[in-house]
Structure 1
Amino acid sequence: MSDATMKFAMLGLSALAGLSLAMGACGRSGLNEFDVNAGGAGGATSTSSHSGPGGEGGLGGGGGTPCSGPTDCDDRDACTTDTCSDGVCRHRPRDDDGDGHAPLSCGGDDCNDFNPSVYPGAIENCTDAADNDCNGVADCFDPACDGAPLCGCTPSPTGENCTNGIDDDCDTIVDCFDSDCAGTPACGCSASEAGKCGNGFDDDCDGAFDCDDADCSSDPLCQCRARTENCGNGTDDDCDLLIDCADPDCRGIFPCACVPPGSPEICSDNVDNDCDGRVDCADSQCFSSPSCQHCMPEICNDGIDNNCDGRIDCADTACFFAPNCVAVPEQCNNGIDDDNDTLIDCQDPDCANNPYCVLQQANCLSPKLITGSGTYTGDTTGHISETRGVCGGDAGEAVFYFTLSQPSRVVLDSIGTSFDSTLYVRTGACNSGAEIGCDDDSAGSSWAARLVFNLLYPGTYFVFLDGYTVDPVGGANEGPFVLNVVITPNPPEICNDGIDNDGDIYVDCADPDCAGIGPCLNCANGLPPAPEFGIAACTDGLDNDCDGKIDCADDDCSASDYYITECCNGVDENGNGIPDDFNCRCVSNADCPSGQICYTHTAHACGIPCQSYFGEICPFVAPGSFCSAVTGQCEF
């Protein structure tokens, strides 16, 4: 990395931090705004704009819109809670968990509006996986937990108990806020699913969602959705407003299948010749073709694909602003982009906590928690590919996550899966975090994958069980899957394998656990073995840790996994004004020179606090991490 790229200037980011705080204050304010229809002295005005009969949205002088139920009061503002009280609509600033703090998405300061024990100023609970005080770090990583006798959340093997006020499954969401509890008797059940067959909830608590429930068998929506899309007849067979190859149901099926790189599009043969997923007149290459001159601007209420793009009426982006296509809340399982944001059902962030999407676990919006060693099953049929690993994964995936509070050995495999599967793991952010492993066929059993991590440090990890490809003849690699997980916390140190088995950063003979053991006797010129940490150990000409490598040839003296530019010798070798940056291995700040700290949560190397750089250093220290203003180091 060049000096120009790094822009190292020991200026700090205090000014930028102030700017961030100022920007965070823009938009909706906190919960000092209450009922916008309440009137009376001292009433606050709402930042929401409500228009409608009766002067809704103002204070005093007659209240709000008359109503007979809550559906009459939906103002389509995601940042208000809309109720019908005493026959009048009332709109209050959103605060789902009732802790007095609005969510970040609405300009508030609550970093988790599904847990009433989480808000700025809350006391950090060191064993609940939640960032209670909203300082960006939770449990063991929060300085407030230094010295705590217990640290880190242990998920209950029975999952979330929906009535006890505790986050039993360690997903930071409590009781009825947790999608695991949606539709349970504790959180309310309906007598029947009928009349509610497209909302993504198991309303009658019988274990069947919407059209999968027998109560919905006569619902027109379900009768139509039960039909299979014919991918070459120019008709919307399954009533999702998508025709043929524009329908995800047709991916990989003739005539929508194509073997890359394909050939130039032929505009009249009903085949996707160029492998772009668009056939004939739906392909931009065919706009001027004589075969497509019958196409015309979309008419938004006639049930016909007028402009030949495979999308009918309100599913066509050309109709988003048509009067009959006004956006409504996303329903999450009807195959339609209800809110006109181009994202359908479980691909829409609005559906992240919808029970149907949680059950699907098809993307990073709704990953499933791995609570510990065991076997996890599901089905990827119909999942749309949103991610892939370096070793493959072009079909739909299932996404999991697990959080380690202790160094652990982790083994994953997909033995028992019904299709050619891949496994890959990311840390940091789910979609964009660093990929730390990817495998296709190493499990030795019918296309199954296997990954072995001898040691993973505390943190959150995302696991993707993906279908290897979409075959033009056989279709997508999808179907029932099996994920086998073995997590072994605090494995013992093996003293001759070159691996930090027990997670204390010390390897083999450098680990006190190996003192006096065979390979660690009399190997450092007669001196007791010791870590090759710091300038003194990296410049003394000795193999201090008995690994056969001396000083700068030792990985501990060029410690960064991603940013190896110097040796830990006290010299500014790359000329950026900072000697040894991120190349002296460390376990604590005591291992680092004055002015530097040990990045214990990512690189385990010494560097100046991350706020002291002009520019974002963390992508280079540990891809997928961010600079924490609380700890001064990069965090996942």
Structure 2
Amino acid sequence: MKSFSSLFCCLVLALSAAGCWVPELPDDTLFSCDTAEDCAAQGVVCAPRGAGLRGYCCTPTTEVCNGKDDNCNGQLDDLTAASCYTGPEGTKDVGGCKAGRVTCGADGSMVCTGEVLPASAESCNGVDDDCDGETDEGFNVQTDIANCGRCGNVCNAVTQLCVDGACKTRGETLCDDNTDDDGDGAKDCADSDCDNQTRVCKAGDTAKNCVCVGRAIGEANCGDGVDNEPDGFTDCVEEECSGKSCGTGCVCTNYVKKEIACGDGLNNDGTEGTDCADPDCANQSCGAGCLCQGSKAVETICSDGINNDGTEGTDCADTVDCNGKDCSVAGGCLCSGGAATETVCNDGLDNDGNNGADCADSDCYWKSFSDGTLCTNTGTRVEVACSDAKDNDGNAGRTDCIVGNSDSNCVSGVCGAGCSFNNCAKKETICNDRTDNDGDTQTDCADKTDCPAGTACTRTNGAAGTCQNNGSCA
């Protein structure tokens, strides 16, 4: 509960000699302030509210996505700057791909804003759009009428060809009229002017399913299941179909159809299987945070609140794929046993988004730090380096077991699981866990001083026993 400020109390005193009664108010009551001193409480700051408005008393906590100003800086949901990337492994910082920044989404989830992911197809623009380390692959600026000599230089498709990187006026303007239009002795596909020009396959056709290739008629539609020329071969079996589309999510490769869209739920090439079940999709992306491995979709991003592979569960709940993987874009969180586990316990952040930050989270119980402190199993951080003459936990200068200014934990506290302090001396308090809890190289009954004869212990066969005078358990 909160009470009115001392300023209000003083006003009442000025008006009444009977004394000052300060009523209690609900915890979520806002108090106006100009400085932190107006709030009159340790750890409470005066948070700004905007130009021309007084601030309000606020206790800073870690900023999360909840539509509130948790860290009391006057901004809602302004998460600590952290980079993020949801594209396939190995593509970040390649070509045009780059990481983004973690921000809050409209539904309260964390999203990656500003990232650039690989394009589904390469464009001729001087940029590595699909982030595979190659630029403008698949485009031949020597013969491509849409990119003749350079990207974006377009020849007139009706009257021009691209020859050696330059637009050249075609003599043969019609490639399917059975006429030598320019009178050079060659007509239609037999004329080099018609190279790579589409045409109807035979008189009476309306669709241009053929193309002039190598002075002959070739297949232009490589995914319709029809021998369009005809020459006895269909679609990807045709030489001219190599590298061309055989339909949505399908490309002709080595004379067969190959699935290239591995996350759309379709058997794009009509063979072997759908998406990751198709060997064509091995190690290919099956969507954001998803990779085809072992003929199945595998979740690779375990921190975005999305069931990326559509199976087993979301993030850490996907124990098959996410166990042991990072569950926070900012770090300090690891998936373990189907749950997010806090692994960094001294950064002031609730890294796993549950149970609290640092020592307040049970994941951090008994974690020790290089600064001479330890998280206890009660959620507090205490001094455990009790012989270095330092105030390790920063509690008003109280240090080690110095007379008159000793640290209470060093005098009589905990030094870890199964370990306690007695005037800065460590003592083993659990004698049946087969652990050297006080770090004196003696374990359980072998630590005769702390685990004397008669103390409960665990035998080598796992049965209960008692410590013997010789330091054994029987």
Structure number with greater CO (CA < 8 Å, separation at least 6) is 1
Mark yes or no: TM-score above 0.5: no
- The structure that is helix-richer by fraction is 1
TM-score of the aligned structures, taking structure 2 as reference length: 0.26
Structure with larger Rg: 2
